[in-house]
Structure 1
């Protein structure tokens, strides 16, 4: 019966059906089932509320590490204190955490105010022997990198990592870029033995945002593989420095243009005062969405062509 209920939980995502399934789970005494409970918790937090999921969790018995990890994950982006409380309950009941526990827990600590609690979890990680887990270390690195005022901690974690993967390097490069330390980011990038598309895009995007388009183009031309983000970063970068000729050139080379690419050009020409080119691009856009229309309306307004803005709005 638990397999049938699991199939139902995986298949349906409406609140009314979930309530019916929850009732069947209670009737059949499966509210603490190791396979059913995690799925029920996730769906309850997603479709109802975090409090609904917590009530289910607290009324269950024989909770294992998977159940605890699931409810902690439900706190991501919401309330880090609640996640920490669940973790403390877990310790009090002698349920041994695993690497997933700490990765989910650290992802709950998104604000600067959570730094102190995050540092306590850092100590727990080493105390319980998870300091060698690259999975946990990457999450720890990302946590400190997001706490901009304590970037040195991120650097220390990175330097002390017994093993690094491309995610580790990408996190540090992204952190340097976010702080405006372009030179350090580029140096780290050049010292990498292995790079993926995310790595290349991080550098290109950061250089474009910094307005260093010559270096951005140099890196872009070295890319072994480019995706939509790569091309759009370059177009946006040239638009940002008001070089519409270069932006148009990159756009023309783009093998598969997206609505973002078309819209960026429309906005760029509008801001540059070349409303005729903006209209030309807008009319050629094969698939317009609300952002495309808004860009053209904003272009007319920016150039004081209010009647045309009202006309296209209509």
Structure 2
């Protein structure tokens, strides 16, 4: 029998192991923690639900869906966080029907869904539109749509995936609280669906409101939609702002800038200049310019770039690189 002092000691050790396992995110470490909880869980029953919830999340983080589900099914007690953890797991692995059943079971148990419940469900890439509308109705009735930006932003993502741009715009307009992620989401949505002017207008509105808090996603979102010669001037202004804030050196932003100059410039000269200025390059940076040079009937320059790539220590060609080279042969 484990006396109270020993129980406290084991409890503290388990919590320290949980913290360490959360940093490592390894299947072996998670299984060890799970085994220890199974062995000693009854000793400190007030904390077992908390520990089970975290183990579900850990299994999901290492893509062990079945193990996460086993933990959930065998839990002696569940709370809202338990259901949220499992709903997020279902959503991550593309199981919207299971997520929906978990939501119904949760509500039947008298537990009220919160913003993380609905946000987790709406983030499921395979969630169908009809279920999304039902979740929107539930969010409105429960007041969660107005409580903070999380549910509304997730709803924007759902409507955007299905190309429901009018619904996306209406949700955005009706949101009393908007986060930077909300703005980035709708800017990117409009840009990806060809509503370039709307995307540009929203970006300008965001700059006026929160210039100091713009993120990589703000720039990548608006720049990704610029593809016409007449967009070049605006793209250069966005480039200047990125330089002012210091985000032009971030790889996703610099890659999108190179791509913008490729699509909007009448020649590859601006894209080549941008490429030379980029301090941190990944394979996408190299492939973007090589592809542009190949399309511009400059195979010699593209081949020279390919040779330079092979001299890089931290970047290696991928399938796209070799396909570009194959097309030029």
Q: Same fold (TM over 0.5)?
A: yes
For 1:210 and 1:139, locate their aligned partners in 2 and report how far apart those are by CA, in whole Å: 33
Displacement of 1:239: 3.2
Q: 1:310 maps to which residue?
A: none
| Aligned residues: CA RMSD | 2.8
- CA deviations over 1:84-135 (Å, ceiling 9, x no partner): 1111111011112222222112112x23x61111111112112222132222
Q: Where does the alignment leave 5 or more consecutive residues of structure 1 unmatched? A: 305-314
Of 206, 229, 235, the match for 2:225: 206
Shift of 1:16: 4.4
Q: Which residue of 1 aligns with 2:327?
A: 302
Over 3 Å counting, the alpha-carbon distance change for 1:164 and 1:262 in structure 2 is: same
TM-score normalised according to structure 1 size: 0.83
2: CA distance, partners of 1:172 / 1:215: 19
Q: Paired residue for 1:153?
A: 167
Question: Would you say the 8 A contact 2:91–2:120 is kept in 1?
Answer: yes
Match status 1:19 vs 2:44: no
Change over 3 Å in CA distance of 1:58–1:300 after alignment to 2: closer
| 1-structure distance, mates of 2:61, 2:222 | 35
Aligned to 2:317: 291
Matched with 1:105 is 121
Tell me: CA distance 1:179–1:48, structure 2 relative to 1, closer, same or farther (3 Å).
Answer: closer
Instruction: Please report how far the alpha carbon of residue 211 of structure 1 lies from its aligned counterpart in structure 2 after TM superposition.
Output: 8.2
CA contact under 8 A between 2:282 and 2:315: conserved in structure 1? no
Which is worse superposed, 245-254 or 45-54?
A: 45-54
Unaligned 5+ runs, structure 2: 1-9
What TM-score results when the alignment is normalised by the length of structure 2? 0.80
Q: Aligned partners of 1:20 and 1:222: how far apart in 2?
A: 49
Q: Decide whether the 8 Å contact of 2:192 with 2:224 is kept in 1.
A: no
* Mapped contact 1:232–1:260 kept (Cα < 8 A): yes
Partner of 1:237: 260
Q: Give the whole-Å Cα distance in 2 for the aligned partners of 1:294 and 1:83.
A: 36
Q: Secondary structure at the match of 2:128?
A: helix
2:99 is equivalent to residue 74 of structure 1: no
Aligned to 1:143: 158
Alpha-carbon distance in 1 for matches of 2:136, 2:113? 14
Q: In structure 2, what is the Cα distance between the partners aligned to 1:146 and 1:210? A: 27
